Amino acid sequence: MQNNLDQPVANALSEDYQRERTLSFLEKLYIPEILKALWYSFKQMFAPSFTLNYPEEKWSPPDIFRGRPVLVEDDGQERCVACGLCARACPPLAISMQADEKADDPKERYPNVFEINMLRCIYCGYCEEVCPEEAIVMSKDYDIVFESREDAVYDKSRLLVPKEDLKERLDFLKKYKNNQFGQFWDFQEENNIHSVRDRDQKWNTGLSLVDMLEQQKKNDASEASSNWSV
């Protein structure tokens, strides 16, 4: 027999379509099915539990977890140099900042204002990816509660977290980013400008970064003139 493709034989919309199968006598009683369900529930009472009694029991996320983005505080000051890369990379435009220069060191910039609107943040981690200073990282904090829109805008006082408390994530980033870029770009702590200044203070007490650069210029100039005299 040739099938008529315009009118299929089994069609749920057709009035002839059988919607119910014929139940056996036991199935019609429903009792065996109820007992099976009770037995299953009883067995689950002795199965290992995978749920936590939150908030009494807190989950400790792995290092790869992307929680609330925070600013890294290094020796009492922010690592951030207010370059604005994170704000440019942020897809929902959640980050806003205002840069300023330190009075005693005009080459040193810092964010006078730094805010993240947590109503917008999608925890993508792009800010962390692009930051050249490892100054903004994704923390393990997932317990984020606010009662108003204003409360959802986190300022520096709520964003700054000491680097010691972020050690696990910073170590993870060091490994992950170094793997990604190889020797081309090693995200080492000593590469950021604060560390350069700190090293400067350690090795050349009293010299600021500006003084060090000036000294470097003088050294370069003296080398050039000695070359001319040869």
The span of 14-22, 26-34, 77-85, 174-182 binding ligand SF4 (CB under 6 A) equals: 77-85
Q: Which stretch binds ligand SF4 (CB under 6 A): 10-18, 47-55, 130-138, 144-152?
A: 130-138
User: Is residue 173 near ligand SF4 by the rule CB under 6 A?
Assistant: no
Per CB under 6 A, the segment of 2-10, 131-139, 144-152, 169-177 that binds ligand SF4 is: 131-139
Q: Under 8 Å CB-to-CB from 16, ≥6 apart: which residues?
A: none
Determine the interface stretch with ligand SF4 among 1-9, 36-44, 133-141, 200-208 (rule: CB under 6 A).
133-141
Of residues 136-165, those binding ligand SF4 (CB under 6 A): 136
Contacts 24+ apart (CB under 8 A), 167-172: 168/63, 168/140, 169/63, 169/137, 169/138, 169/139, 169/140, 170/72, 170/134, 170/137, 171/63, 172/63, 172/64
Q: Rounded to the nearest whole angstrom, what is the least distance from the CB of residue 118 to ligand SF4 in the complex? A: 8
> CA 68 to CA 89: how far, in whole Å?
16
Minimum CB–partner distance for residue 92 and ligand SF4 (Å): 5
Contact pick of 70, 73, 74, 85 for ligand SF4 (by CB under 6 A): 85
170 contacts ligand SF4 (rule: CB under 6 A): no
> What residue type is assigned to position 144 of the chain?
I
Q: Which is nearer to ligand SF4, 81 or 170 (CB)?
A: 81
Separation CA 68–CA 123 (nearest Å): 7
Contact string 91-110 vs ligand SF4 (x = CB under 6 A)? xx-xx-x-------------
DSSP of 90-129, one letter per residue?
Answer: -TT--EEEEEEEETTEEEEEEEEEEEEETTT-----HHHH
Nearest to 111 by CA among 136, 82, 73, 72: 82
Contact 137, 192 (CB under 8 A): no
Residue choice 124, 153, 161, 207 for contact with ligand SF4 (CB under 6 A): 124
**Alpha carbon distance 126, 89 (integer Å):** 6
Choose which of 70, 74, 82, 187 interacts with ligand SF4 (CB under 6 A).
82
Distance CA 115, CA 188 (A): 26
CB of 16 to ligand SF4, least distance (A): 55
Site for ligand SF4 in 189-208 (CB under 6 A): none
**Which residues of the shown chain bind ligand SF4 in the complex (CB under 6 A)?**
69, 80-86, 89-92, 94-95, 97, 116, 121-127, 130-131, 133, 135-136
